Amino acid sequence: MKRIFFLFLTIAVLMASGTIEAQNVTKKQDWAQFYTFQNDNARWNRVKAVLMGDSITELWWDRDSVFFKENNFVGRGISGQTTSEMLVRFRRDVLDLHPQYVVIMAGTNDVAENNGKISKENILGNLKSMVEIAKFHGINPMLCSIPPAAGFIWRKDLTPAQDIIEINKMIKEYAQSVGIPYIDYHSALKDENGGLPKEYAKDGVHPTLEGFKIMEKILLNTFEKTDLTMDNVVLNSLKTRRSIRSYKPQQIKDEELLAVLQAGTFAPNGMGIQDSWIVAVQNEEIKKELIRMNAKILGTSSDPYYGAPTIILVFGSDPEKWRNSVQDGSLVLGNMMNAAHSLGLGTCWINREMEMFSTKEGKDLMRKMGIDEKLIKEGLTGIGALAIGYPEGEPRAPKPRKENYYRIIK
Ligand SMILES: Cc1cc2nc3c(=O)[nH]c(=O)nc-3n(C[C@H](O)[C@H](O)[C@H](O)COP(=O)(O)O)c2cc1C
């Protein structure tokens, strides 16, 4: 993993082949090692997956190139690299290859302090940045665990096993929160000390062919499961929507609002009678009224709509008169939340509209919003509301899904 040897070897080979100018190519001048794959990158286009990483990935391609070839994978591992260097060369070594997937296995050298100390949060931050860049360019990212290591031959003073376990936990939680695969090589390879046993890695860090074969099985298994869902933007969007409780003050665009409202109107509804009514409120005076009434029921002085620039109300018939009123309205709200998320907007379902609009004050507000008097007289009911706007900051990670949430009976 000590990069120096590999670095000089690579430079020597490249210089011999005339790839780089012979004069003065030093690590300092190209510390992220853009030149390593400079020529090779041009050979690849539309590969299935780029495997981004360090010497483990580098050796993997070397020890089992057939596996890479058969699966249309390309290895972009560079010995000694930390997540920071990988982030810097991500454009050249991943984006420029236009892969369908990028599989990122990184962090061993961060833990080994190859570039000095780096916090666990900053390691995760670099991984997150790679994931976000990949997504922005339509590449499906996957994050791997850092493989187990109880010690490093080049940093004998460190005892990394526990740090690796802790970082892996953070990687796993993050991957789950953004709905991307977490590939757990660590659990399959580790021994009782959290290290790599001799049969899988002679030096305790770099897997043998036997070790790589285990990783290959896990990786292919992940692809089998995710090929179905990762390319499906709808499924991806459904899994990554989260309730947003902090908004930027600027108003959303009219075309975004229209797209969300229209998605609401296409929700399934009982007997196809389109019972629900939707009112999007951007008027400051009416928003103030909604906030005041809702806060009063909630017993708070803060804004129950979290300062969202738009509030969308959904009404339905009196549930005594139309038994699917609440179900219909809820699906309208659900459709709108998912549509908004797919457009990069944030939403949160806000309750208490049923109580708010059951009072005289509530009915007067309905009139002020231009709702048909006939509907009000027939008992139009508040089903729920959405706070909607541009999200401010990161949403909370989702809770893990409860066990046995679903079962399949065949
Ligand atoms: C019927 C219903 C009522 C809700 N009411 C509120 C609410 O009044 N205020 C709020 O902050 N979140 C509310 N939520 C949002 C839930 O707290 C949120 O959906 C849940 O914690 C799961 O988080 P997620 O949406 O990020 O997956 C409501 C959600 C539903 C479906």
Structural domain of 138: 3-240
The pLDDT value recorded for residue 19 is: 42
In a domain, 204, yes or no: yes
**Same domain as 316, residue 212:** no
The pLDDT value recorded for residue 130 is: 97
The pLDDT value recorded for residue 15 is: 40
In a domain, 410, yes or no: no
Element (H, E) at 77: strand 73-77
82 phi/psi in degrees, rounded to 5: -100, 175
Element (H, E) at 240: helix 233-240
Report pTM.
Answer: 0.60
**Same domain as 189, residue 300:** no
Query: What count of Cα atoms within 13 Å lies in the side-chain half-sphere of residue 1?
Result: 29
In a domain, 315, yes or no: yes
Of 351, 354, 394, the residue with max ligand 1 atoms within 8 A of its CB, to mutate for a pocket test, comes to 351
Please say whether the beta carbons of 383 and 354 come within 8 A. yes
Q: Which residues have any ligand 1 atom within 6 Å of their CB?
A: 242-243, 245, 348-351, 398
Token pair of 301 as six digits: 């002085």
The pLDDT value recorded for residue 28 is: 67
Beta carbons within 8 Å of 344's beta carbon, 6+ residues apart: 390
**Same domain as 224, residue 296:** no
Token pair of 14 as six digits: 């490249």
The pLDDT value recorded for residue 401 is: 78
Query: What count of Cα atoms within 13 Å lies in the side-chain half-sphere of residue 198?
Result: 0
Nearest atom (ligand 1) to Cα of 242: 26
Burial (CB count <10 Å: 0-12, 13-18, 19+), residue 325: buried
Token pair of 292 as six digits: 């005041």
The pLDDT value recorded for residue 104 is: 98
**Same domain as 227, residue 262:** no
CA-nearest residue for atom 7, ligand 1, is 350
Q: Quote the ligand 1 centre to 384 CA distance (angstroms).
A: 11
Beta carbons within 8 Å of 53's beta carbon, 6+ residues apart: 75, 76, 77, 81, 86, 104, 105, 106
The pLDDT value recorded for residue 328 is: 98
In a domain, 404, yes or no: no
pLDDT per position in the chain (410 positions), as tens? 655 444 444 444 444 333 444 345 566 688 889 988 988 888 887 789 999 999 999 999 999 999 999 999 999 999 999 999 999 999 999 999 989 899 999 999 999 999 999 999 999 999 999 999 998 887 899 999 999 999 999 999 999 999 999 999 999 999 988 888 999 999 999 999 999 999 999 999 999 999 999 999 999 999 988 766 656 778 778 888 999 999 999 999 999 999 999 999 999 999 999 999 999 999 999 999 999 999 999 999 999 999 999 999 999 999 999 999 999 999 999 999 999 999 999 999 999 999 999 999 999 999 999 999 999 999 999 999 999 999 998 787 777 777 788 888 88
CA dihedral 235, 236, 238, 244 (to 10 degrees): -170
**Same domain as 279, residue 144:** no
379 phi/psi in degrees, rounded to 5: 100, 30
Nearest atom (ligand 1) to Cα of 306: 11
Least Cα distance to 185 among 154, 143, 225, 226 occurs for 143
Beta carbons within 8 Å of 207's beta carbon, 6+ residues apart: 56, 59, 60, 147, 189, 196, 200, 201, 215
CA-nearest residue for atom 2, ligand 1, is 349
3-state secondary structure of 385: strand
In a domain, 294, yes or no: yes
In a domain, 298, yes or no: yes
**Same domain as 166, residue 30:** yes
Token pair of 24 as six digits: 């003065």
In a domain, 300, yes or no: yes
Please say whether the beta carbons of 141 and 134 come within 8 A. yes
Among residues 213, 240, 267, which one ends one of the domains? 240
Nearest atom (ligand 1) to Cα of 352: 8
Provide the domain count of the chain.
2
In a domain, 336, yes or no: yes
Instruction: State in Å, rounded, how far the first CA of the chain is from the last one.
Output: 51
CA-nearest residue for atom 22, ligand 1, is 243
Among residues 240, 269, 304, which one ends one of the domains? 240
CA distances from 123 to 126, 127, 128, 168, 247 (A): 5, 6, 9, 11, 28
Residue 173 belongs to a domain with what CATH number? 3.40.50.1110
**Same domain as 274, residue 211:** no
CA-nearest residue for atom 28, ligand 1, is 349
Round to whole Å and give the CA distance between 120 and 98. Answer: 30
Round to whole Å and give the CA distance between 187 and 202. Answer: 18
Among residues 240, 262, 290, which one ends one of the domains? 240
Please say whether the beta carbons of 295 and 302 come within 8 A. yes
**Same domain as 320, residue 275:** yes
**Same domain as 188, residue 141:** yes
**Same domain as 195, residue 51:** yes
**Same domain as 181, residue 95:** yes
**Same domain as 283, residue 145:** no
Token pair of 128 as six digits: 């997150």
The pLDDT value recorded for residue 14 is: 42
Residue 344 belongs to a domain with what CATH number? 3.40.109.10
